[in-house]
Structure 1
Amino acid sequence: MLGPLASLKVLDFSTLLPGPFASLLLADMGAEVLRIESPARMDLLRVLPPHDQGVSASHAYLNRNKRSLALDLKQPEALEVIKQLLQDYDIVLEQFRPGVMERLGLGYEALKAINPKLIYVSITGYGQTGPYKDRAGHDINYLALAGLASYTGRADSGPLPLGMQVADVAGGSLHGVIGLLAAVIARQQSGSGQHLDVSMTDCVFSLNAMAGAGYLACGAEPHCEDQMLNGGSFYDYYRTRDGRWLSVGSLEPVFMKQMCTALGLEELATLGLSPEPALQKKLKEALRTEFEKHDFGELCALFAELDACVEPVLSLGEAARHPQLRSRQLVTEVPRNDGSTQAQMACPLKFSDGLPEPRHIGAVLGEHTDQVLGELGYGVERIEELRRSDEEAGTSTTNSTIRPASPH
């Protein structure tokens, strides 16, 4: 089974989370992804805890099904290797700050001259243009500047760190994949590639969706806990007597009626869609009081029998074991080099023709260097010659242009 993207070949220069999550999706769907990694500057994701058998679990997941080629891009020999690869690989994914790839001789215009069909995807915090294009940033900064954090949190304590990387994943990774695949379709029609500029801040700004539409069209500036869906209504989380939480999303009257009836609050069922803050507060306080009278297990059993949009807040372990997620096969076993397997989150996309089985966890730095160079026609002597050339030039082993393969 090859997968729907088996015709795509991607050179992935990215590190950490945004680019690797994007290329993970591509690789899971069958694309051939070759990571180009610096032997001198390790991807910090490789050392991020926790570790499983000495390997970062995050790296093993985000970089599964990809090969690793170690190249020092500051060396002329490395650029020659990239140019040869471009005869066969027609997609480049990178997330350096603007101008870095150009200084390395690997900018879009330079590579386009080698392969006019090249699709070149740049994922950055602020984009290739604008006053912030060279500024450093992280997920929390992009959410802040895009306005999303201003109404996500509690009125008395302010914005909340969300715990997962919305800008990196929903902004950079998913929009990067969407744009890349759109460019592939356009290339099928025009025969030409193009450069895709993906700004995580831009993409997060578009995720404001309903709140952003309301502000731009009507001037309605959202704040923490003043919207229907951000804590300003009954739509919220409620603590149980034993300190657990349940989520309540019973927006439609039919769901609200079921929930209130189950809790003995039938008289409040009509308040769900009321725009009056005072009535929403009354409903919310009544729900808070009633939820705190019962233990988590009791409420889970009660609402399991109802279709009321009330669900428990689960830990990751509980979520992985939940019958719905288990039935959807969202946990898979991925091979290690020693023949054992590691449990990982599976690709969430379901194709009627299926997807290829996971091939291996994230590769060791440079694990496939000899293999890739061999495919380009480099013999053993030529590979060794390149290594000796580096050593004679005074380059240390860790800074070698060509790094020998090493086992997990």
Structure 2
Amino acid sequence: MALAGVRVVELAGLAPVPFCGMILADFGAKVIRVDRTKVTMAMDTQARGKRSLALNLKTPEGVSVLRKLCVQSDVVLEPYRKGVMEKLGLGPEELLKENPRLIYARLTGYGQSGSYAAAAGHDINYLAMSGLLSMLGRRGEKPYAPLNLVADFAGGGLTCALGVVMALLERSQSGRGQVIDTSMVEGAAYVGSFMWKSRSIGMWNNPRGENMLDSGAPFYDTYQTSDRKYMAVGAIEPQFYSQLLHGLGLDDADLPSQMSFSDWPKLRQVFTDCFATKTQAEWRAVFDGTDACVTPVLSLEEVSSHPHNQQRESFLQDSQGEESPRPAPVLSRTPAQPCQGRDPFIGEHTRAVLEEYGYQPQDIDRMLSTGVLECNAAKARL
């Protein structure tokens, strides 16, 4: 796999850092998630392929163990607010002195500098600060966040993983590691570069929800079918729009011009009425195999059974029967090989990981007895 041999220490966190760690693990990195002790259940639902070590960082010896793990690894993924690792003496300056090849990835909402650097927040706050939230929503309605996808995962976890891969590539030439400062505000804004840069060509001149790609255009929207399901329409180009009309049984001569903005409400009503006359399956039969850019809105329960997704094996099941997307993109020679096993229990691999990093069994036993470590391997075998 592409990242085989790369050792990653992921400090347990929520959403974006676990996603970053899962990406790296899917493509071959050995990812160790460092969990807190005395935690009964992991909140990381993206732990595929990771191992868990439970460590008490409120003890000096626990901090010492983490230091050793970090300086003997290639990558550290850190999700804490600004200054937390420095208080432990484990900031990037300290660790890079001991391991100049270390890649220290910091993933936070607002980044490592600026007046909000130490502030709390969530995806919706970062999205708001990026400028993108102001553009998301239907006409006359308040802005809405599209789940927590844009800042947490696209601008956060995925952008951070890209930074790690780029730093690994650069290290192969320079021999030196570096610090990655991933801000979810900046990552979300960067993901939205198209919006920023296409303002100059007039694509976003109208208020929110009244532009071509934000549900303003009737030919770029979703429509309910007679069985209360939905079809998605993206027929922007004239040749695709023509096929949309043909599939709907409409005559272009009887309708307003496609780009007559003032007539969009009327055109939307025509499309709404048309789509309401057939079931989703019936519309699929009409539009499949055409270039009308009309597709079914599939539920999470339906998506893996769609013929196209089945043919590409786009979704996979783990040993517990849980379904999830296959890692993307697909590499021809070194594709991802995601773990099919269950997610780790907290502390399940504490002993095995520390032995790999040079700790003797008696030292591990002593730290277990003093509460520096936890090992739940026995529970994992039940």
1:245 aligns with 2:218: no
Q: CA deviation at 1:364?
A: 0.6
Contact 1:238–1:247 (8 Å) recurs in 2: yes
Distance 1:158 1:149 in 2: 10
Q: Deviations over 1:35-57 (max 9, x none)?
A: 111114567615xxxxxxxxxxx
Alignment of 1:91-106 (within 5 A): 91-106=75-90
Alignment of 1:225-264 (within 5 A): 225-234=209-218, 235-264=220-249
Please tell me the residue identity of whatever aligns with 1:9.
R
Q: Secondary structure in 1 aligned to 2:318?
A: strand
Q: CA deviation at 1:404?
A: 1.9
Q: Taking structure 1 as the reference length, what is the TM-score of the superposition?
A: 0.86
Distance 1:30 1:191 in 2: 21
Q: CA deviation at 1:342?
A: 4.2
Distance 2:322 2:315 in 1: 10
Residue in 2 aligned with 1:404? 375
Q: Secondary structure in 1 aligned to 2:43?
A: helix
Structure 1 residues 129 and 87: CA distance shift in structure 2, 3 A: closer
Residue in 1 aligned with 2:325? 345
Residue in 1 aligned with 2:123? 139
Q: CA deviation at 1:180?
A: 1.0
Q: CA deviation at 1:86?
A: 3.4
Q: Secondary structure in 2 aligned to 1:45?
A: coil
Q: Secondary structure in 1 aligned to 2:364?
A: helix
Distance 1:89 1:251 in 2: 49
Structure 1 residues 25 and 166: CA distance shift in structure 2, 3 A: same
Identity %: 36
**C-alpha RMSD of the superposition:** 2.3
Distance 1:268 1:280 in 2: 16
Distance 1:42 1:83 in 2: 25
Structure 1 residues 321 and 164: CA distance shift in structure 2, 3 A: farther
Number of residue-to-residue matches in the alignment = 377
Residue in 2 aligned with 1:50? none
Distance 1:341 1:305 in 2: 32
Of 299, 315, 328, 2:283 maps to 299
Contact 1:90–1:119 (8 Å) recurs in 2: yes
Residue in 2 aligned with 1:395? none
Structure 2 spans left out of the alignment, 5+ residues: none
1:333 aligns with 2:314: no
Residue in 2 aligned with 1:319? 303
Of 353, 369, 375, 1:372 maps to 353
Contact 2:203–2:211 (8 Å) recurs in 1: no
Contact 1:334–1:359 (8 Å) recurs in 2: yes
Q: Taking structure 2 as the reference length, what is the TM-score of the superposition?
A: 0.91
Structure 1 range deviating more: 82-91 or 95-104 = 82-91
Contact 1:70–1:365 (8 Å) recurs in 2: yes
Structure 1 residues 186 and 322: CA distance shift in structure 2, 3 A: same
Contact 1:369–1:403 (8 Å) recurs in 2: yes
Residue in 2 aligned with 1:195? 179
